[in-house]
Structure 1
Amino acid sequence: MQLHLNTPLLNSRALSQLSGSNVWLKMDALQPCGSFKIRGIGLACRTYYEQGARRFISSSGGNAGLAVAWAGRTLGVPVTVVVPETTSARAKELLHLEQADVIVHGASWQEANRYALTLKGESDAFLHPFDDPLLWQGHATMIDEVVASNVRPDAVVLSVGGGGLLSGVIEGLQRNGLYDIPVIAVETEGAASFRAAVEAGQPVELEHINTVASSLGAKMVCEQAVRLVGLHPVISEVVTDEEAVRACRRFIDDHRVVTEPACGASLACIYEQKAVLKAFRNPLVIVCGGATMSAEQLFSLYGGA
């Protein structure tokens, strides 16, 4: 039983005209729980269920936790999600809507994660938000779908937080023989843990996160994301919060789909016509989505400008 949708692959007239290139959009914002996370989380939940798991535990108050809750409800498995105190009321509301048991613990995701691990019993499965080979395997299916559509991009643009999407997309490119297609990994300035890891050659823990793109707020990326930099062409790009938010707003007008600023980071590469894209004529942007910010909240940022 596949828990994710095969999402549309759109050729964006608006973004193509703006950039002077042929821009493709993989619309994973249209997944049933609002983000790409259900691809990997869905595969992991299904696998653990088949192995005997009868409760799912997650430590994410964002899109990963929501994907676990959606998968659990679909499979008929109870879900416990431990979220930090900073989790928005909207995110908690969405988790409750999916019938998850929500526990608030700790000031950060790291603290919530440590507590969530203590809850795991013999018949439970723990779902990490981004650091699990099953997640990468599931996320890779978006590239399988692009290839099945007979589209061959010359670059893939995506947002990077903990590195799960990056790891999955590279797995998808490589298993389809697309070893030469570079990945442009985009972060916001206040959550640039991947840029720090690339510069150091190993995962580096940021002292703090300071960004409206809360879904990118992993203080340290997974080791797999750093390892893949040596095995596949990856380009690190950083945008501002304001650029990410502005991209989300423009995307609503152009494609009538609401995304959160974490997704807006990758879209900002196109909308702001970043120099990193000038060499590419057929880029693919992963519209990763995000359900934890409403349109009203999005338009309230930066004075509604």
Structure 2
Amino acid sequence: MPLHIETPLMESRPLSVLSGQSVWLKLEALQVPGSFKIRGIGHACTVYRQRGAQRFVSSSGGNAGLAVAYAGRCLGLPVTVVVPETTTARAKELLALEGADVIVHGSSWQEANQHAQTLLGASDAFLHPFDDPLLWEGHATMIDEVARASGKPDAVVLSVGGGGLLSGVVAGLQRNGWHDVPVLAVETEGAASFQAAVQAGHPVALERISSIATSLGAKQVCEQAWHCAQTHPVHSLVIPDRSALAACERFLTDHRILVEPACGAALAAVYEQATALAACRKVLVIVCGGATATIDQIRTWAGQQDQA
């Protein structure tokens, strides 16, 4: 049995009335660990266990690390998660709740990741947050569910960070024969590594991440994400943090579901009626979720944006 659940797919009345379109939500925020990550990571952990892994190691203090911790608990294997010093107390609390061994090291994900690599033994499996074909294969299952439930959309809207979700969604679209369905890939200013790759013609590293949407904070997207933009209609959209935060608040009011600003970025494209969606009748939004944000934190960030 897969470690993820088949999430609800529902038409959003508030967003449909606002946009004049039929807006459908794939509610990945309702996955048990809080985000879509469990699809790919659950699949990868299952495969690695079948190959003989006796421990899982991750370097994410966010949704990927939580998915690894959850998968390890379900599969009965120990999990070590290395997180940077910037990881929130809430994230560390959730990791500990899943029974993971949490190690704090370094001031950035890159430093935490380097340390995690030194911990790997012969029987350990390393779970990358976004750059692994097993992850993309697992993430693609959400589009399989959409195809069975409601048929073809005119566009898919999603947030892009390291590119794992984008790579999986494009794989799902293509294996269902939806090669012509465009994807609107949304990032926040200060974390726009996908747009940088599109503009440069290859993945490039950002000098720094300055967005509050830390789940989108990959300095460089994976090669596969850039490849998707060459083989599928993928359009880049960059929005300000303020828009992502406002979308989180509006979505909580509209649907009683709290998501992280990284997910709010995709929702903002619909709330603010992005030009790229103007000709669409049916829009599918991947509500990717996020377990570590609280409404108090989102409101604090919004207040800081207003003062800036």
- The residue number in structure 1 matching 2:221 is 221
- The residue number in structure 2 matching 1:2 is 2
Letter in 1 for 2:271: Y
TM-score, L = length of structure 1:
0.99
Q: Quote how far apart the aligned CAs of 1:141 are.
A: 0.3
Structure 2: runs of 5+ lacking an equivalent: none
Structural mapping, 1:176-187, within 5 Å: 176-187=176-187
- The residue number in structure 2 matching 1:99 is 99
Distance 1:202 1:114 in 2: 24
Structural mapping, 1:30-109, within 5 Å: 30-109=30-109
For residues 252-273 of structure 1, give each alpha carbon's deviation from its aligned partner in whole angstroms, at most 9, with x where no partner exists.
0100000000000000001111
- The residue number in structure 2 matching 1:289 is 289
Distance 1:187 1:150 in 2: 27
Structure 1: runs of 5+ lacking an equivalent: none
For residues 132-155 of structure 1, give each alpha carbon's deviation from its aligned partner in whole angstroms, at most 9, with x where no partner exists.
000000000000000010321010
- The residue number in structure 1 matching 2:191 is 191
Letter in 2 for 1:138: G
Q: 3-state SS of the aligned residue for 2:186?
A: strand
Which portions of structure 1, spanning 4 or more consecutive aligned residues, are displaced by more than 4 angstroms? none
Q: Quote how far apart the aligned CAs of 1:279 are.
A: 1.7
Distance 1:130 1:28 in 2: 16
Matched-pair identity in %: 68
- The residue number in structure 1 matching 2:164 is 164
Distance 1:242 1:273 in 2: 15
- The residue number in structure 1 matching 2:122 is 122
Q: Quote how far apart the aligned CAs of 1:219 are.
A: 0.2
Q: 3-state SS of the aligned residue for 2:125?
A: strand
For residues 130-180 of structure 1, give each alpha carbon's deviation from its aligned partner in whole angstroms, at most 9, with x where no partner exists.
000000000000000000103210100000000000000000000000000
Q: 3-state SS of the aligned residue for 2:5?
A: coil
Q: 3-state SS of the aligned residue for 1:60?
A: coil
Distance 1:231 1:274 in 2: 23
For residues 17-50 of structure 1, give each alpha carbon's deviation from its aligned partner in whole angstroms, at most 9, with x where no partner exists.
0011100000000000000000000000000001
For residues 45-72 of structure 1, give each alpha carbon's deviation from its aligned partner in whole angstroms, at most 9, with x where no partner exists.
0000011101000000000000000000
Q: Quote how far apart the aligned CAs of 1:302 are.
A: 2.0
Distance 1:136 1:88 in 2: 27
Distance 2:12 2:152 in 1: 15
Q: 3-state SS of the aligned residue for 2:34?
A: coil
Distance 2:110 2:168 in 1: 23
Distance 1:114 1:281 in 2: 46
Distance 2:202 2:103 in 1: 33
Letter in 2 for 1:6: E
- The residue number in structure 2 matching 1:155 is 155
TM-score, L = length of structure 2:
0.98
**Aligned-residue RMSD, C-alpha:** 0.9
Letter in 2 for 1:81: V
Letter in 2 for 1:203: P
